[in-house]
Structure 1
């Protein structure tokens, strides 16, 4: 998938934290990530210049780490590609979202804005101008975990043109996959494991070939397992907190690989 055909898809991730060194070491030890330091002239999250560690896995850039100076919650945030950041940001506000940061340009990266949906989950809108291909194979899947699946389905359908398809989980939880205009599955929205995350949040699921071994290693190096469950197709997943407190998932599966 090229960036030209990625509208409606998640194309980047950042980890926001005050503990970049701890986070870098944890994910390198857990998943073998490597890093390349870039110098950013203007972050999505704060103005000014700073170093930006890029995440490299399997020879591709997948995201980065953002060092926050203020005491904000640590969390992963996804960037969804849109056709027009400014227009979609205005639409988000009309649908009840809070605009955390109005549209702005980052040289060599793209145009972005940061929004918080009506339930409190944060996501970035983005039109990239960088040369990195849309990443694949490491960030396998994205889920919005929320206590109001119907409201979330409506908001993101109206905002991004995603089409919801309800899935029977046979587990007493609501689950919908959200499809892009090209028919590809973009994300999931669910109330499954909401008690493990406590508030609405977008989380990335990272690839593992052996979820049991990876969970054991995560525990050994400071991660905390919040929940384990199955995807609607039966593939195993887990939700964890890294040592900085950021929530992420692990997925042992092939269905949602890009």
Structure 2
């Protein structure tokens, strides 16, 4: 395996109002955008400190026809996209969109784990220069990834086999069960738990770093979003917010007090 296999490398928002979503996350997270137009679509690259962090685009017509709502998703680096898609199936997951090329960008597939949580696998075209390593806690970048699963033990086994992720610390959450931290080559990068009853379906949630959490909370509401949980302190001294953007996509923020 390459040193990047199993790393989250990109995040993408599918939305019903691209310009308003750009405005919202620009105000809340501080992103600045570069728009790339090709054929009948525009793809907005969100930048933090001159580094691409995420993409924002309208929900494609085919996905919209299937009832796909506004949502965030993550891309995981793989050494071979086609082999990874086949492996997902052998491990009990499913392929939602067969592997295909994005010219000049890479080859990707949309897949789901055995509980139905959707994510993407991607083999990027090698960049002309090495991607800079982003230090944890860097504003505007993803700082945590969280899976709400239908079966957290099954999920841990699935992702361990797919990407080599390892079980790390476990936090007892009482009636909500266990919160399992997982690690890759960069150390602790996320957590998994069985989804709470109020969560409609298994899925991933991504946390973007915002610095002062109270200021970020104020920006969420003033920009037209809604906070559904938090600010709440989590182990390690960080504070989080979970919210819904103006178009209805779930998002999360992480930061500090003061």
TM-score range, shorter chain: 0.7 to 0.9
CA contact (8 A) 1:12 1:63 kept: yes
CA contact (8 A) 2:18 2:56 kept: yes
Query: Following the alignment from structure 2 to structure 1, what is the Cα–Cα distance between the partners of residues 189 and 102?
Result: 25
**2:142 pairs with one of 139, 143, 146:** 139
**1:24 pairs with one of 22, 25, 28:** 22
Structure 2 gap segments, 5+ residues each:
none
Aligned residue for 1:233?
236
SS at match of 1:208: strand
Matches within 5 A, 1:23-172: 23-40=21-38, 49-68=40-59, 69=61, 70=64, 71-129=67-125, 131=127, 133=131, 136=134, 137=138, 138-169=141-172
The answer to which of 209-218 and 222-231 deviates more is 222-231
1:171-192 deviation digits (Å, cap 9, x = unpaired): 5541122222x36233321247
CA contact (8 A) 1:12 1:135 kept: no
Q: CA deviation at 1:244?
A: 0.8
Q: CA deviation at 1:125?
A: 0.3
**1:196–1:54: structure 2 CA closer, same or farther, 3 Å change rule?**
farther
Once superposed, what is the RMSD of the aligned Cα atoms?
2.3
Query: Following the alignment from structure 1 to structure 2, what is the Cα–Cα distance between the partners of residues 195 and 23?
Result: 28
1:132-189 deviation digits (Å, cap 9, x = unpaired): 8267331111111224221211211122221112422555541122222x36233321
**1:135–1:215: structure 2 CA closer, same or farther, 3 Å change rule?**
farther
Query: Following the alignment from structure 1 to structure 2, what is the Cα–Cα distance between the partners of residues 208 and 158?
Result: 33
Structure 1 gap segments, 5+ residues each:
41-47, 254-258
**1:78–1:100: structure 2 CA closer, same or farther, 3 Å change rule?**
same
* TM-score normalised by the chain length of structure 1: 0.85
**1:12–1:61: structure 2 CA closer, same or farther, 3 Å change rule?**
same
The answer to which of 11-20 and 143-152 deviates more is 143-152
Aligned residue pairs, count: 242
**1:212–1:63: structure 2 CA closer, same or farther, 3 Å change rule?**
same
Query: Following the alignment from structure 2 to structure 1, what is the Cα–Cα distance between the partners of residues 210 and 107?
Result: 32
**1:183–1:16: structure 2 CA closer, same or farther, 3 Å change rule?**
closer
SS at match of 2:211: coil
